[in-house]
Amino acid sequence: MKTLICIVCPRGCHLNVDEENDYKVTGHHCEKGEIYGRNELLHPVRVVTSTVKVKSNIHPRCPVKTDQSIPKENIFPAMRLLDSVLLTPPIKRGDVVVDDVAGSGACFVVTRDLDT
């Protein structure tokens, strides 16, 4: 049995996951929590947020995120992919910056509009 704190929402439920019983989850208050509890032991994933460089004196950086969770072990390799990105405004929320992050199928997308 493993105890976890659910990170799906700010409520932070205390979950119990039974590895010996098909990863059965207890202590959750919603379906998402149950899924999280299972995944966290089998293949933990996270959304990654960071920034990328922008050709602009006013806004030298633009925030980005992965549009879906990626495997935890891919976080640092994913970060490295952002180092070489340089955007030129105008930039729109949702613009894809990096496709298929580290083979995860997720993309890094821009999270704010930046005008020239």
Q: Which CB atom, from 20 or from 72, has the smaller least distance to another protein? A: 72
Question: Can you spell out the DSSP letters for 54-110?
Answer: ES-SS-SEEEEEESS-EEGGGHHHHHHHHHT-EE-S-B-TT-EEESSGGGSS--EEE
Indicate the burial class of 56 (C-beta count within 10 angstroms; 0-12, 13-18, 19 or more).
Answer: middle
Site for another protein in 71-90 (CB under 8 A): 72, 75-76, 79-80, 82-83
Bridging pattern class, strands 49-54 and 45-46: unpaired
Distance in angstroms (rounded) separating the CA atoms of residues 60 and 85: 12
Binding mask 43-62 for another protein (x = CB under 8 A): ---xxxxxxxx----xxxx-
- Verify binding: residue 17, another protein, rule CB under 8 A: no
Distance of closest approach, residue 107 Cβ to another protein, in angstroms: 15
96 binds another protein (CB under 8 A): no
Is 63 one of the binding residues for another protein (CB under 8 A)?
yes
**Residues at the site binding another protein, with contacts judged by CB under 8 A:** 4-10, 12, 46-53, 58-61, 63, 65, 72, 75-76, 79-80, 82-83, 93, 111-113
